[in-house]
Copies of this chain bind each other. A is one copy, B any other.
Amino acid sequence: MKAWMIDALGRHRLRLGDVEQPEPRPREVLVRVANVSLNYRDLLVLEGTMGSGRAFPFVPGSDLAGTVVACGEGTSRFRPGDRVMSTYVPGWIDGRQLGSAANPNGMTLGGPLPGVLAEFVSLPEDWLVGAPGSLSDAEASTLPIAGVTAWFSLIEEGGLRAGQTVLVQGTGGVALFGIQIAKAHGARVIVTSSDDGKLARAKALGADIGIRRDGDWVKALIEATDGHGADHVLEIAGGSNLGKSVEAAAVGGQIAVIGIIEGLDLAAPAFPLLLKQVVVRGIFVAPRRAAEDFVRALDAINLKPVIDRRYPLAALPEALAHLERGPFGKIVIDVAE
């Protein structure tokens, strides 16, 4: 079967190789991969910024949707023919995240654990979730990281309610899920971007207000909310942008720190954090149970993930280049013909 892989760090080393199709071991199921969606972290993993500890040859990719084709001994959750999607943090079923201060758990699919950009993968059945019946495989492949992260941040950890204001930064995968999920719960959504065209598309998707990122967006947001501020922030940029998010937050506002695009070092002023009792929360996707609840929600609210463009398996390099330029929503690889 075909699989993308690298034999050493470096995106330029990616090669589409032929490898033996895996067999499901006990408690594993064999999945024929239909689609893989890309995430910004795939770029970081290929270059070594994330995913340290991987073994070579290394297959990248974290998010799959596909169909179970065989079940190993001792499996019970799935049967051949079931449509499934992956989860990002294997073994985190529900409740508290794994790991400790001495050993924070970063064992995730697609780096350092082997990834899914292959025609077949065999995974422990506990690492999979049934795909939503209301979505295609391409759409379902966008959920495991981007969709679940927006859901867990805003809804489960944030407790979002109708009438609250949500600030979504940018128009990438998590951001667009944030817009859609927040609107489906009756919130008012403000999106920031440095591209007028993307702001217009975000508004067409449901965002109430678009603000240019390159101006004083904090002031604009506070004015647009009659002084109230943002009850929820999806902090996708990171770095010192966190400080602006703290300034923009409402009293009791909650900031979900998700992204690191602007840097690995967060910075923020103390006074507004204190006076407004702002909460800043590190988010590392979510436990499997949250993905299952999200799937149930998707089927109920008819939310369709936004795919900017689909690429054939052979065009992974072009797809990654598109990802790097900043898509509007998700980039998806068609693994199966």
Contact = CB atoms under 8 A, between A and B. Distances in A.
Interface string A223-267: 001011110000000100000000111111100011010011111
Interface string A284-322: 100101000111111111000000000000000000000
Q: 8 tightest CB-CB pairs across the interface, nearest first?
A: A101-B229, A94-B95, A163-B297, A102-B227, A273-B282, A95-B95, A104-B275, A163-B296
Nearest to A185: B185
Given A276-B282, A279-B279, 15 more contacts: A93-B95, A96-B289, A100-B250, A101-B221, A101-B222, A101-B247, A162-B181, A163-B293, A163-B296, A186-B297, A238-B270, A263-B270, A265-B267, A277-B283, A278-B281
9 contacts: A26-B26, A93-B95, A95-B287, A97-B251, A161-B185, A162-B300, A270-B282, A277-B283, A279-B279
A260 B273 CA distance: 11
A288 to B, nearest CB: 10
Given A186-B300, A270-B238, A251 B98 contact: yes
Interface in A134-176: 155-156, 159, 161-164
Interface in A174-196: 181, 184-188
A105 interface: yes
Given A162-B297, A279-B282, A294-B163, A96 B251 contact: yes
- What is the oligomeric copy number? 4
A104 to B, nearest CB: 4
Given A93-B93, A96-B252, A282 B293 contact: no
Contacts of A275: 97, 99, 104-106, 282, 284
Contacts of A258: 274
A264 B274 contact: no
B300 A188 contact: yes
A287 B252 CA distance: 13
A187 B97 contact: no
Contact of A162 (B274, B284, B301): B301
Contacts of A74: 26
Nearest to A225: B101
B251 A101 contact: yes
Contact of A300 (B187, B269, B296): B187
Residue from A102, A163, A263 having most chain B Cβ neighbours under 10 A: A163
